Structure 1
Amino acid sequence: MIRYILRRCGQAIITIIAVSIIVFIILHLLPGGLVRAQLGQKASPIQVHALEVQEGLLKPLPVQYLTWAWNALRGNLGYSYKLSENVSTLLSEYVPRTFLLVAVSLLFAVAIAIPMGLWQGYRRNHLDDHALSGTMLVMYSMPTFLLGVVLIVVLNIWLPIFPSTASNFGGSLSIDATDLALPIITLSLANVSYFSRYMRSSVIDNLLEDYVRTAKSKGARNRTVLLRHVLRNSLNSTLTLLGLSLPYTVSGSLIVEALFNYPGAGLLFWNSAQTRDFPVLLGIVLIIAVMTVLGNLIVDILYGVIDPRVRVQ
């Protein structure tokens, strides 16, 4: 197990290094360059040259990358020339909110999708299975922003239960629970439709396996077979999807945050894109990429815990 974890950690480190190189390349491919983005298109050549010397942009690219990577490891991701604040300070305030939103929504989605998919697989081709499958297919086909708009209309306009925009912007995680409701429901429903369909298919496949017939022939009840045998084997595909869905969920959170005015990294990314605040944009891309890689690493470790065959391979 230790060797398996070390191997997965090594792969995660290589992926993060590759992502950092891509982010660094993007930094040097910005329209007009980072200097023009700070000084404007009307800056004189003398001003441009002075800033290039100040920020070390005239050094060879490998030297620039090593300097940038070392600063990033120390938490120095640059300076927001639009907000007049260090990027690392901004991210320390906004990213935890996005992490909270993604983590809670995935937790709710898995908690709902697993028993739903288990029930649908057991009740396959019955009326309740067809009703749930049709509902999940509709939600699966809806873009995240459209699902959010529908929830605003239903739960804010027709039934004024939850606010449609966040109101509390204080502190790193200081936000009212009601402000979290609609963003979490939106991301959770999008993921429930994704997880439950695969959970249902996995349950149906496992119900046809020999070990299920053997357990039933020994007198085991259907509930015991489902919970002790089918559920565990069916979780493998769900955990795999959980890792694969992290980039989709994080990107969806960017749209959701902008839609609900939720004060997270997505809203900061949206506002920075409007003002061409490139250091903030690239800092968010790097941090979100690292979060996604670490999330997949955790899922891989859990996958190895549930299925010993993965550790052996």
Structure 2
Amino acid sequence: MTWYVLRRLAVSLLVLLGISAVVFLMLHLVSDSPGRVVLGQRASPEAVSDFNRAHGFDRPVVVQYVSYLGQLLQGDLGRSYKLNENVGTLLALNAGRSAMVSLAGLVLALLIAVPLGVLQAVRRNSVVDRVATAASYVLYATPSFLVGLLLIAVFSQTIPIFPAEASQSHSPWVVFTDPRAMALPVITLAVTSVAVFAQYQRSAALDQLGQDYIRVARAKGLPERLILTRHLLRNACLPLVMLVGTLVPTLLAGNLIVESLFNYPGLGLLFLNSLQREDYPVLLAYTLIGGVLTVAGNFIADVVVAAADRRIELST
């Protein structure tokens, strides 16, 4: 198990190195002069030249990249010249709120999708299975912003149960301290994920229902509820763990839409505001975080699945 983890860690570090190179080159590909990007098109050539010289952008690209890597290793993500603020500080102020909303949406999606997928598998081709499958396809094809708008129209305008705007609290625990204001953003995040998770869980459960250990358990006369909870779920949920790991950046993208729609102060709203200001250091840091989360999610999923099923470790 130790060697497996070390191999996966080495691969993850190489991928992260590649991501850092891509993110670094993005600023240089946007314009021939980073100073021009930061200062704007109206800046004089002298001001652009002084800016590039002061921040080391006049040095060779390789030297700049090595310096950039050194900054990343020290936790320095650069500086927002538009807001005159350290990018790491800006992200840290908003990361907790976004993380809690994403986690709440993910947990809600799994609580609905896992039992629904197993139910569909057990009652394959029944009315319940067909209706749930059709609903999943519809939800999967529906953009998250449209889901949010429909929820606002129904539960905020037609039936005024929840507010249309999310809580403006800067506490990362606002999901628990003000659940009514955060209900619609969390549900919006969960809805599209349920569609994917439920169908994935259904396929995995169907595959496990045909295995010999399920037949043996039924032949022994074990109750169906016990077979499903103690035997089926453990193996049927392993593929779902892998899927959740790969969908971590999707949650980050979903936050961008949901936070904008519900005016929730988090990383997604920060990204959109930075996009309007053309604040490239913040945009690139957000992109880097998305890449890191993708690699980290896959690494954690690989380790968890390997720990639960040693056959995966032996086959690699």
Smaller-chain TM-score range? Answer: over 0.9
Partner of 1:56, secondary structure, is: coil
Amino acid at match of 1:219: G
Matched, 1:230 2:232: yes
What residue is the counterpart of 1:302 in the other structure? Answer: 304
| Conservation of the 8 A alpha-carbon contact between 2:205 and 2:236 | yes
| Conservation of the 8 A alpha-carbon contact between 2:98 and 2:267 | yes
Q: TM-score, normalised by structure 1?
A: 0.94
Alignment partners' CA distance in 1, 2:84 and 2:172: 18
Evaluate the alpha carbon distance shift between residue 180 and residue 128 of structure 1 in structure 2; reply closer, same or farther with a 3 A threshold. Answer: same
Evaluate the alpha carbon distance shift between residue 188 and residue 167 of structure 1 in structure 2; reply closer, same or farther with a 3 A threshold. Answer: closer
Q: 1:209 offset after TM fit, Å?
A: 2.0
Matched, 1:160 2:128: no
Amino acid at match of 1:256: V
Q: 1:124 offset after TM fit, Å?
A: 1.3
| Conservation of the 8 A alpha-carbon contact between 1:97 and 1:263 | yes
Alignment partners' CA distance in 2, 1:173 and 1:89: 19
Matched, 1:116 2:116: yes
* Deviations, residues 100-131 of structure 1 (Å, cap 9, x unaligned): 22222112211221111111111112222222
Q: TM-score, normalised by structure 2?
A: 0.93
Alignment partners' CA distance in 2, 1:33 and 1:156: 48
Q: 1:257 offset after TM fit, Å?
A: 1.2
| Conservation of the 8 A alpha-carbon contact between 1:121 and 1:200 | yes
Q: 1:92 offset after TM fit, Å?
A: 0.7
What residue is the counterpart of 2:45 in the other structure? Answer: 45
Q: 1:171 offset after TM fit, Å?
A: 4.9
Evaluate the alpha carbon distance shift between residue 126 and residue 290 of structure 1 in structure 2; reply closer, same or farther with a 3 A threshold. Answer: same
Evaluate the alpha carbon distance shift between residue 110 and residue 167 of structure 1 in structure 2; reply closer, same or farther with a 3 A threshold. Answer: closer
| Conservation of the 8 A alpha-carbon contact between 1:93 and 1:171 | no
Matched, 1:33 2:33: yes
The structure 1 segments of at least 4 consecutive aligned residues displaced by more than 4 Å after TM superposition are: 171-175
| Conservation of the 8 A alpha-carbon contact between 1:92 and 1:172 | no
* Deviations, residues 127-186 of structure 1 (Å, cap 9, x unaligned): 222222222222112111111111111121112222222342435655743332211111
Alignment partners' CA distance in 2, 1:220 and 1:40: 71
Which aligned pairs between 1:177-188 and structure 2 lie closer than 5 A? Answer: 177-188=179-190
Q: 1:297 offset after TM fit, Å?
A: 1.7
What residue is the counterpart of 1:3 in the other structure? Answer: 3
What residue is the counterpart of 2:23 in the other structure? Answer: 23
What residue is the counterpart of 2:295 in the other structure? Answer: 293
Q: Which runs of 5+ in 1 are unaligned?
A: none
| Conservation of the 8 A alpha-carbon contact between 1:80 and 1:279 | yes
Q: 1:75 offset after TM fit, Å?
A: 2.3
Q: 1:97 offset after TM fit, Å?
A: 1.6
Greater Cα shift, 166-175 or 17-26 = 166-175
Alignment partners' CA distance in 2, 1:306 and 1:263: 38
Greater Cα shift, 254-263 or 165-174 = 165-174
| Conservation of the 8 A alpha-carbon contact between 1:91 and 1:265 | yes
Alignment partners' CA distance in 2, 1:173 and 1:16: 30
Evaluate the alpha carbon distance shift between residue 290 and residue 42 of structure 1 in structure 2; reply closer, same or farther with a 3 A threshold. Answer: same
| Conservation of the 8 A alpha-carbon contact between 2:249 and 2:293 | no
| Conservation of the 8 A alpha-carbon contact between 1:93 and 1:172 | no
Alignment partners' CA distance in 1, 2:33 and 2:183: 40
Alignment partners' CA distance in 2, 1:311 and 1:42: 58
Aligned length: 313
Alignment partners' CA distance in 2, 1:33 and 1:223: 65
Matched, 1:266 2:268: yes
What residue is the counterpart of 2:132 in the other structure? Answer: 132
Q: 1:13 offset after TM fit, Å?
A: 1.4
Q: 1:46 offset after TM fit, Å?
A: 1.7
Which aligned pairs between 1:242-257 and structure 2 lie closer than 5 A? Answer: 242-257=244-259
What residue is the counterpart of 2:96 in the other structure? Answer: 96
Matched, 1:280 2:282: yes
Evaluate the alpha carbon distance shift between residue 32 and residue 165 of structure 1 in structure 2; reply closer, same or farther with a 3 A threshold. Answer: farther
Q: Which runs of 5+ in 2 are unaligned?
A: none
Alignment partners' CA distance in 2, 1:214 and 1:187: 40
What residue is the counterpart of 1:170 in the other structure? Answer: 170
| Conservation of the 8 A alpha-carbon contact between 1:34 and 1:278 | no
Partner of 2:304, secondary structure, is: helix
Matched, 1:107 2:107: yes
Give the aligned CA root-mean-square deviation in angstroms. Answer: 1.8
Q: 1:225 offset after TM fit, Å?
A: 2.0
Identity %: 41
Q: 1:80 offset after TM fit, Å?
A: 1.4
Q: 1:221 offset after TM fit, Å?
A: 2.5
